[in-house]
Structure 1
Amino acid sequence: MDEFGSSSGERPGLRARAAPFRAPRLFRFGSGFPLGSSSPHARRLLRPGLARLGPAPRPSLSPCARVAQPAAGADRLAGRIKETRGVCASSTFGSDWVGEVEMAAEAAALPGCGCKGIRSCLRCEQARGPVDLCPKLQRRKYHFTYHLESGLAVADYSTCLTGWAFPFPGVFLAEKFVNEEEEAEMVNLMDDNEWKPSQSGRRKQDYGPKVNFKKRKLKVGCFSGLPCNSLSLMDRMTQCSVLKDFLPVEQCNLDYRPEHGSGIDPHFDDWWLWGKRLVSINLLSETKLSMTCDSEDLIQLHLTEMVPNTQQCDPINGNSESISDFHGDTSDHCKGQRSVSYNDVEIAIHMPRRSLIVLYGNARYKWKHGIYRQDIQSRRICCTFRELSEEFGEGGKQEALGKVLLDIALSFKGVPG
């Protein structure tokens, strides 16, 4: 659940664009040339006429990733700064340009991050200094908390909607899905393998096909299956009512750390390749999954004492959006109803340590999910499992490819890609 994973083909919501990053022209040509006056290429770039070209547009990679390319190591770059300082200070680039070179050297000394575009982590932000390339997300006006027993989203006491609630179908949560010994074994096995940098301050291990979600293409050749220790987890999942026929074709392990500023912006997981259920196991620490919806439509709220207990229908064989209809029970209680915009609402789903969560129905397709940086208090690992969409299932357009992917996935011989 990029939350549910960087390989999810996430669809981020619309948000205000950050101020553009102004990189000096010298960085744009960074293809292995040292940044000093002893380099012929650098001397050409430092000619006074270059200043008239103006600043370069914002790069597609984050500043941290861009300056940490193999072209020039941090030590080499830092060493060249002294050589370049005298030339730059006397040129039309001025002292501001020198400061950006120094900032770039500092960034290159940091471990590489996987941030791209509008994504950022503490490494990126520390490297940029005061430049706010990716402003913090604006939180919603009204905060609700999901109550597992009732299936309701109940307004927090900190809002003016205290005592109001509405049904929130599409969530299944099983506490203590794994025990302490199993958790320790899972984490040890993950840490024995390489963690690769991912976006927004996370690290990942991906057991799944390589996918280009924009072009809707995937490669099977490098996919070797799910890890062997996931076989017992899968058997346990199928004992849950909402996962009886769940056949995962991808597992993505994600490592969140507060010192890296780990988090994930609200998003939808792709639904061209991935199916109707998103499954995640939460390890090492508890956290909150935040649900938001960008619709301007209205949510009908009801006073909690007027809302009966709700029973969610089977998400696979029944109507996955069904929940007990209570509108008729409250039609004569106009004072017991009010409306707010979906766009103003944020729902927190508390995920205990070692729990399993499933999103389906409205929670999968109508509400975006994300994890805010401030909700990561200590190291957290999540194991996210995804199934294939109907297009890759029986009778689907790509049924044959789906069978190949499932055969590989369920061999349980995988190594992280």
Structure 2
Amino acid sequence: MERQILQSLQSWPWQPSQSGRWKQDFGPKANFKKQQVKIPETWEGFPSCSHQLLELLRGKTETLRDFEAVECLSLWYDSDRGASHALHVDDLWLWGQRIVGVSLQSPSIFTFFDPVNSVCVRVPLPQRSAYLINGRVRVDWQHGILAEDIWGPRVAMTFRELTEPMAQTELGRQALERAKLPGARGFQRSRVCGGCFGLFLL
């Protein structure tokens, strides 16, 4: 399945992102400073491989049975560019309690940091592993990937849900319906807290 996903992603252009990364972003667009969100007219849902992957992930844990992804973000970590992802907490006004990701092509390490107690926990991410961030780790802990933990080309696919208040808005309902579309078309181009973090192999 990993090979099929990677081949599918090559049907889409990679856009430059921060800290040596490249990205493919499918979902609503947000201005995080102004806390404003809109639905791009050109957004036609997720790539078809994303729907298949989500079905597989939902079958892995009861926690994801009702998970409705509204964003699919693919990040390509280019080791030659010193790619990394600074420690952060995903925005709480827009994204919901659960963050689901898949680590492809090469292994890495997730770094979690509790700024209140100055505690750091490092979690291995094997190739083809999936992770779930939930609970206190989602809200109170920062997470990221250090440049020294990128040892080769790595692709991460991240799925996010809306907060309950946002999902109840007209825009939220429209975004959720758009995310369910059968598949957008691309083009060919030359343990941290019990129950808060889960890891499993595809």
Question: What TM-score do the two structures reach when normalised by structure 1?
Answer: 0.43
Distance 2:43 2:97 in 1: 22
Distance 1:187 1:231 in 2: 14
What residue is the counterpart of 2:54 in the other structure?
Answer: 234
2:23 to 196, 200, 204: 204
What residue is the counterpart of 1:157 in the other structure?
Answer: none
Segments of 5+ residues of structure 2 without an aligned counterpart are 187-202
Segments of 5+ residues of structure 1 without an aligned counterpart are 1-181, 296-341
The higher relative CO (CA closer than 8 Å, separation ≥ 6) is in 2
Aligned positions, number: 184
State whether residues 288 and 349 of structure 1, in contact with CA within 8 Å, keep that contact through their aligned partners in structure 2: yes
SS in 2 for 1:271: coil
Aligned pairs (5 A) from 1:171-210? 182-210=1-29
1:366 to 122, 136, 140: 140
Distance 2:104 2:7 in 1: 12
Q: CA deviation at 1:188?
A: 1.3
* Amino acid aligned to 2:129: S
State whether residues 27 and 45 of structure 2, in contact with CA within 8 Å, keep that contact through their aligned partners in structure 1: yes
Deviations along 1:22-41, one digit per CA (max 9) or x if unpaired, are: xxxxxxxxxxxxxxxxxxxx
Distance 1:278 1:203 in 2: 20
1:223 and 2:43 correspond: yes
State whether residues 289 and 371 of structure 1, in contact with CA within 8 Å, keep that contact through their aligned partners in structure 2: yes
* Amino acid aligned to 1:414: A
1:392 to 163, 166, 171: 166
Q: CA deviation at 1:413?
A: 2.8
What residue is the counterpart of 2:115 in the other structure?
Answer: 294
Distance 1:238 1:372 in 2: 28
Q: CA deviation at 1:412?
A: 3.1
**Pairwise CA RMSD:** 1.3
What residue is the counterpart of 1:259 in the other structure?
Answer: 80
What residue is the counterpart of 1:249 in the other structure?
Answer: 70
* Amino acid aligned to 2:173: K
* Amino acid aligned to 1:203: W
Deviations along 1:44-96, one digit per CA (max 9) or x if unpaired, are: xxxxxxxxxxxxxxxxxxxxxxxxxxxxxxxxxxxxxxxxxxxxxxxxxxxxx
Distance 2:184 2:88 in 1: 27
* Amino acid aligned to 1:193: W
What residue is the counterpart of 2:96 in the other structure?
Answer: 275
Distance 2:113 2:11 in 1: 36
SS in 2 for 1:248: coil
Question: What TM-score do the two structures reach when normalised by structure 2?
Answer: 0.87
Deviations along 1:132-188, one digit per CA (max 9) or x if unpaired, are: xxxxxxxxxxxxxxxxxxxxxxxxxxxxxxxxxxxxxxxxxxxxxxxxxx1111111
Q: CA deviation at 1:415?
A: 5.2
* Larger helix proportion of the pair: 1
Aligned pairs (5 A) from 1:8-407? 182-220=1-39, 221-239=41-59, 240-295=61-116, 342-343=117-118, 345-393=119-167, 396=168, 398=169, 400-407=170-177
SS in 2 for 1:350: strand
SS in 2 for 1:229: helix
What residue is the counterpart of 2:189 in the other structure?
Answer: none
State whether residues 38 and 171 of structure 2, in contact with CA within 8 Å, keep that contact through their aligned partners in structure 1: no
